[in-house]
Amino acid sequence: MHTAPSLSDLPVELGIRILEFLRGDSQALHSCCLISKLWSKHAQPILYKSIRINSGNVALFCATIRQRPELAGHIRKLTLDGLSGIPPPPLEFPSTRIEVLRVVGMELPNSSVLAALSASRSSIRMLILRDCYIAEPKQCLALPELMPKLKKFKIVQSWLRSRAEADAHLRQSFAPDLQSLSLTSSHSSVPVEVDSGSSDPSTHLLPCESLSVLKVLINGVGMSAFGEYLQDLGPGLRELNIGFDPDAMIEIGSRSFFPFNLNKCTDLRSFNINLIPLQPVEQFPAVYLSYVPVLLESLPVRCKRLQKVQFTIRAWRGATSADLDAFDWDRVGQILSKRRFASLRVVSTRMNGGSVDLREQFVPYFREKLHVLDQRKLLQFFVSVKVQGTDT
């Protein structure tokens, strides 16, 4: 009678490979740790590779790390979630090799965040601050300077106590090796302006010499100055994701010209425009979204590597297809069908939110409006019920 083989009967490499399939299932991995010492030895490194610490498990985590400090060395992705407003045990990390640090729903600066940073400052490659209240902007925005290997920095849906202080700091210094930067907030509290009064490039916002991915949400202030900064940054960008809050769109609609262009973005591979149809009010001009084709037209003629253009529409709950008519989609189709955009492989339209009727009409609406692109089989469609944030 044959018995089922146990993990001890398998080659070590095969046993580890099997346990890898449980990555992300912390409950299953924890159960594996309780089976035997051998299973625990192989399951624990996978269990601790990506962990989330919150108010419910912080005490247990601290006690475990004190008893087994070697476990901290397995952590590669750490999420600190909501550790503000409570007196948690102080986090004490031995030397770790955390590569991704996510901070969610916390007031900064925070001792737990500083403990994680001090233990892994030489290994962190991505830093994400999401839904945070940044009480000391100067200290928090100086964090990238302390991490020599940082490549991606995201501030998402967060609040700055002092915008002026943050602007001043960002104009003074930043991480020169940063490759990806995301500054997005529906509250327009993340600074994206530059000091256009200075001729010294080192005083401009975000002097990131290696930046290739930029994601920003621009408000109604400083658009022209941001355009000047984009002229310097443009040649190195591979991916640009840009959006405008309602104040910015109203400001654009009241002008006879667009405040900046993309003519220096000669090496773009992906371009995403975030669009927010506004609830109809009398003071909004009917053409408040006419900037979309203007922005596309401003792309350089020699932008021969552009493969993807995406329109992400974040619609209010009662929005209908009539709200989408504020965009000049016919002109958008004409521009993207020109020979200068022959390298395009995908034109994606993604909608978050909106009414049930709008979600049902979404695909046929764009097939009709962008029929020139549909004939070339370039169109892709994505629909989501909820307006989603950005965090990866």
Given this model, what pLDDT does residue 389 score? 44
Question: What would the two tokens of residue 15 be?
Answer: 């046993």
Give CA–CA dist 253/257, Å, rounded: 9
69 upstream amide cis, omega within 30 of 0:
no
Question: What would the two tokens of residue 306 be?
Answer: 């552009």
Q: Judge contact between 15 and 32, C-beta under 8 A.
A: no
Given this model, what pLDDT does residue 301 score? 83
* Residue closest to 119 by CA, chosen among 139, 103, 133, 99: 99
Scan for tokens 């401003």, then name that residue.
298
> Residues of the chain whose pLDDT is less than 70?
1-13, 15-16, 18, 24, 85-90, 137-138, 141, 159-178, 182-209, 219-222, 225, 246-247, 249-259, 278-289, 385-392
pTM: 0.69
Give per-residue pLDDT as tens, 298-313. Answer: 898 877 899 999 999 8
Given this model, what pLDDT does residue 101 score? 93
Given this model, what pLDDT does residue 176 score? 52
